[in-house]
Amino acid sequence: MQRIAVLASGRGSNLQAIIDAISTGELPAEVVGVFSDKPSAAALQRVAPGLRWSADARAFPTRDAFDADLADAVAACQPDWVVCAGYMRILGDAFVSRFRGRLLNIHPSLLPSYPGLRTHARALADSKREHGASVHFVIPELDAGAVVAQAVVPVHADDNAEALAARVLAVEHPLLVAVLRLAAAGRLAEHGTTITLDGHPLFTALRLDSAGVLHVPDDPESVSV
């Protein structure tokens, strides 16, 4: 059984998707801790008190000091994977190095387009016809790690940022669960700047289709959620 630690700063809808997939048996894993830089984050309420850790990052003298406490807390629960699911702080080099190779993030854009914040508004400003979400390995550079998989949504002519965000969020949940199923099965790994799937380099990000199936090359069953 794979052990998953989740970092979250907000309401925790992606965390809930993980919890739901575990409860139905779709994801053979357990959430061993939820960690937040915001003690009031709603995500913390989605798990039992013994699985929660939070601290106000603003109370620490430096970013590194907060990251060190966070890293120690995460390491204490002995996770196999650390998942950033709506975690809004940039992780420092020391934190990333400590968990490199088992640190994943879900980002609301089709990377490498629109790293950082305000992704939906930026896509609309550029008159994009497609937008979406990406799951990638975390490296010290912001949202620049190798992308494992993506889900695409159409951009409608009458969209605003809120409507587009809701459409993207709806595909984030199955996308993240599908990637975590690969991870939990031992099929996914990071080697420097290269991802391997089943021991073979993955040169192009996997795509989640409209039916919630993550298409894996040469795998007739693929990964459905």
Catalytic residue list: 107
State the DSSP code for 39. T
CA-nearest of 87, 98, 100, 182 to 146 is 100
Q: Which two tokens stand for residue 201?
A: 């380099």
Amino acid at position 89, single letter: R
Residue 72's contacts (CB-CB under 8 Å, 6 or more residues apart) are: none
Cβ distance 70 to 60 under 8 Å?
no
* List of E strands, the chain: 2-7, 29-36, 52-54, 81-84, 103-107, 130-137, 147-154, 188-191, 194-197, 200-202, 206-208, 213-215, 223-224
Cβ distance 184 to 127 under 8 Å?
no
